[in-house]
Amino acid sequence: QVQLQESGPGLVKPSGTLSLTCAVSGGSISSSNWWSWVRQPPGKGLEWIGEIYHSGSTNYNPSLKSRVTISVDKSKNQFSLKLSSVTAADTAVYYCARDWDSSSRYGMDVWGQGTTVTVSS
Amino acid sequence: DIQMTQSPSSVSASVGDRVTITCRASQGISSWLAWYQQKPGKAPKLLIYAASSLQSGVPSRFSGSGSGTDFTLTISSLQPEDFATYYCQQANSFPRTFGGGTKVEIK
């Protein structure tokens, strides 16, 4: 079955760029699914960051849109998140997830284990 | 953005109890609502999609209902493995938004 694995630096300096990758295994990123990023600050709830389709189409959270880029690399079967100009408020566990339907309206059925990113000098 | 409000924020219950969690949307979202369960240190797990459809592999003691702005998640007979935090999420419009969570604790 499809599995997702996040990777990237666990520590990012303030004003820097957070870069994470989500590797897809057991399936193709070119399947009829949207691929999402969700984050969770320590002790808080979930925040949707954005999503991408294998065609490159994206939807972003307006609260982050000016700082976020989500991209897909079909040759490596993975997708990525870049968040620029980070502050301590961006410290969170970052999850990648799969929307199980092509409409992205039926929820996210496969999740990575999550990776903790701390913004600190 | 559509605001999702869950209540209660926490509930204490015993094994075997019936537990109901509500989620209210700030505007109508048809039936585009999902419910997730999250245990400490783990990723969320999809329980219910399209307001009332049970995700494959999820026990039948979980059920969802509602449409428009008001939704409920019911656990018919609470089991030890159900103690967790539950989130609703609307999928009607962008940005997708989550409720603040309901923590189900042992009484």
Domain limits of chain B? 4-100
Question: In the β-sheet with A18-25, what is the strand arrangement from edge to edge?
Answer: A3-7, A18-25, A78-83, A68-73
Q: How far apart are CA B97 and CA B93, in angstroms?
A: 9
B90 touches chain A (CB under 8 A): no
- Answer whether residue A101 shows pLDDT above 90: no
> What Cα–Cα distance (Å) separates residue B43 from each residue in A94, B4, B33?
10, 20, 18
Q: How far apart are CA A74 and CA B30, in angstroms?
A: 34
Question: In the β-sheet with B19-25, what is the strand arrangement from edge to edge?
Answer: B4-7, B19-25, B70-75, B62-67
| Amino acid at the residue A47 | E
- Answer whether residue A104 shows pLDDT above 90: no
Tokens of A92: 């969170």
Which chain B residue shows the shortest CA-CA distance from A62? B95
Q: How far apart are CA B80 and CA B78, in angstroms?
A: 7
Tokens of B86: 């539950």
Q: What is the CATH number of domain B4-100?
A: 2.60.40.10
What digits encode the pLDDT tens for the residues B58-75? 999 999 999 999 999 999
A43 touches chain B (CB under 8 A): no
**Residue contact A109–B1, C-beta within 8 A:** no
Q: How far apart are CA A86 and CA A120, in angstroms?
A: 10
Per the listing, tokens 């935090």 go with B85
Confidence bin at A77 (pLDDT 50/70/90): very high
- Answer whether residue A103 shows pLDDT above 90: no
A104 touches chain B (CB under 8 A): yes
List phi, psi (to 5°) of A108.
-105, 115
User: In the predicted model, what is the mean pLDDT of residues A47-74?
Assistant: 96
The predicted pLDDT at position A100 comes to 86
User: In the predicted model, what is the mean pLDDT of residues A13-37?
Assistant: 96
Average pLDDT, chain A: 96
What digits encode the pLDDT tens for the residues A46-56? 999 999 999 99
Contacts of residue B56, defined as CB under 8 A and 6 or more positions apart, other chains included, come to: none
Please state whether A103 falls in left (phi above 0), alpha (psi between -120 and 50) or beta: alpha
